[in-house]
Amino acid sequence: MRLVRYGRPGKEKPGLIDDEGKLRDLSGVIDDIGAEQLSPKALRKLEKIAQASLPLVRGNPRYGVPLARVGKFIGIGLNYSDHAAEIGMQPPREPVVFMKAVTCINGPDDPVMLPQGSKKTDWEVELGVVIGTRAQYVSEQDALKYVAGYCVVNDVSERAFQLEMGTQWDKGKGCDTFGPIGPWLVTPEDIYDVQKLDLYLDLNGKRMQTGSTGTMIFPVAQIISYLSKFMTLEPGDVIATGTPPGVGQARKPQRFLKKGDTLRLGIAGLGEQQQDVIAWQAR
């Protein structure tokens, strides 16, 4: 099942993408797609709805973030062996954890803004994991049972803020618009194997990132289990699980985002995002 939220920013309605790829309205069934709609029981109820009974949505509306009111936005750094190698760093012994401010969350096709003073804003296509059940000290064996679904995340990062202004990565990860999520939230039954998904990102039509979740150092189940030892994971929390090789920081010469650039990125089965890069403006 592919769940979406569509419409103008702040006015999004819940919907789903049917088996024919058409957008259907869910607002007559649920008010929104938030924590309360992500439990296994709630998702099973939605799965039983006859898709053809839902109203078709005409036109091409904007897609928003596919879940409302994200609680925590957690990032995992250096989690692909080939990405660690390209930037000359040893694979970490334990997951590298940072937080992205929820104020950075953005629709999948909304513009990415360059923050004031930015000179090294970079791209990172990532698999997003959305928690559906409260998780505390869960085992790796059971960890995937706590997942409501998966989505595409662009972990936009300002490298100078992240790496040249002290030790706190968060400063380069949480700028406004640095967290595009979506377009869809895909429930686990539609993903055959979360560790066999292809990822890609194009900059101005040129392929920059190509990878597979199969090269993750710490797979999804291990990440969830690990995080649940240090914090309670709640329904609606989003985990960005790391990026494959091809970031601008690692290129020779380095290439960072500038006004007028266009990004296109996606993950097999999870849809695609497209963003224009613009100068910062108050939101």
Give the whole-angstrom CA distance, residue 164 versus residue 66: 33
Residues 220/201, Cβ–Cβ less than 8 Å: no
Helix or strand run (H / E) with residue 98 = strand 96-99
Q: What's the token pair of residue 98?
A: 């940072």
| Residue of 74, 37, 80 whose CA lies nearest to 246 | 80
Residues 196/189, Cβ–Cβ less than 8 Å: no
User: In which residue are the tokens 């791209």 written?
Assistant: 123
pLDDT of residue 73: 98
| Residue of 234, 216, 223, 251 whose CA lies nearest to 78 | 216
Q: Where are the domains of the chain?
A: 2-53, 73-279
> Which strands, in side-by-side order, build the sheet including 125-131?
23-25, 13-17, 2-6, 185-186, 147-154, 125-131, 238-240, 73-77, 96-99
Identify the three-state secondary structure at position 171: helix
Q: List the chain pLDDT tens, one digit each, 283 residues.
A: 999 999 999 999 999 999 999 999 999 999 999 999 999 999 999 999 999 999 999 999 999 999 999 999 999 999 998 887 887 778 899 999 999 999 999 999 999 999 999 999 999 999 999 999 999 999 999 999 999 999 999 999 999 999 888 888 899 999 999 999 999 999 999 999 999 999 999 999 999 999 999 999 999 999 999 999 999 999 999 999 999 999 999 999 999 999 999 999 999 999 999 999 999 988 7
CATH 3.90.190.20 assigned to 73-279: no
pLDDT of residue 217: 96
pTM, entire model: 0.97
